[in-house]
Amino acid sequence: MSSERIVIAIDGPSGSGKSSTAKGVARALGLAYLDTGAMYRAVTCAYLDAGVDPSDQAGVIRETLAADLQISTDPDLEQVVVNGVEVTTRIREPEVSAKVSAVSTVAECRANLVARQRAIIEGAANGIVAEGRDITTVVAPDADVRLLLTADPEIRMARRKAELGDKVDASQLADQVLRRDADDSTLVNFTTAADGVTHLDCTYLNLDETIAAVLDLVASVRG
């Protein structure tokens, strides 16, 4: 594998395995890793802590633009800090998952976070694997490798349940996976691969097989 800097963009719906896959690829190639979804979740913590109601769009925008956000890009160190408060664990809680769409579906909020994401990607000296909803089309459309990772809804629900365990009941699980996908799809298309984006259906692939498929794609692109 060439030592040249490389940017890998991975999009996909909830529970498709994009976070675990992106981390695995980053580790294998010695690259940084960016979970853009964690940034939306961190801003959600910020607006909730400020006492802003999810229905108060102006308030959500204000808190998004003002948020002091720090996120680790080490695939082996998950750490998210917003306004001086560590929220690494909290961003995965059902309350945050249920209210993150108040940020992710607002164009002004997305534009602000996209600018931050681009800055992180540009600052990764050796390269980076960035994953989310709109990385292949909006954040890094010129990435060296662009990939849409999907899986059947039943599989995605099962994977998210395995990840969260007893933290969520059936209705909360459906909210996290299906309702959030429906909400976010109002601004971003992450179910159909755009031109130049490779579609990988991992319904019948385990994590190691999915990572291997992505590494094969990277190798083919780099030569």
Confirm whether residue 51 is marked as ligand binding: no
Answer yes or no: is 75 a known binding residue: no
What is the Cα–Cα distance from 72 to 62, expressed in whole angstroms?
24
Is 24 marked as binding a ligand?
no
Three-state SS string across 111-137, please?
HHHHHHHHHHHHCCCCEEEEEECCHHH
**Token pair listed for 63:** 């808190």
Do the annotations mark residue 196 as ligand-binding? no
185 has binding-site annotation: no
19 annotated to a ligand binding site: yes
Q: What is the DSSP letter of 103?
A: H
- Provide the edge-to-edge strand list for the sheet that holds 85-86: 69-71, 80-82, 85-86
> E strand or H helix at 81, and its extent?
strand 80-82
Alpha helices in the chain (DSSP H): 18-29, 36-49, 57-66, 94-99, 101-104, 107-122, 153-164, 170-174, 180-184, 207-222
Whether 13 has a binding-site annotation, put simply, is yes
Residue 18 annotated as binding? Answer: yes
The verdict on whether residue 220 carries a ligand-binding annotation is no
Q: Give the residue ranges of the annotated binding site for ATP.
A: 12-20
What residues are designated binding site?
Answer: 12-20
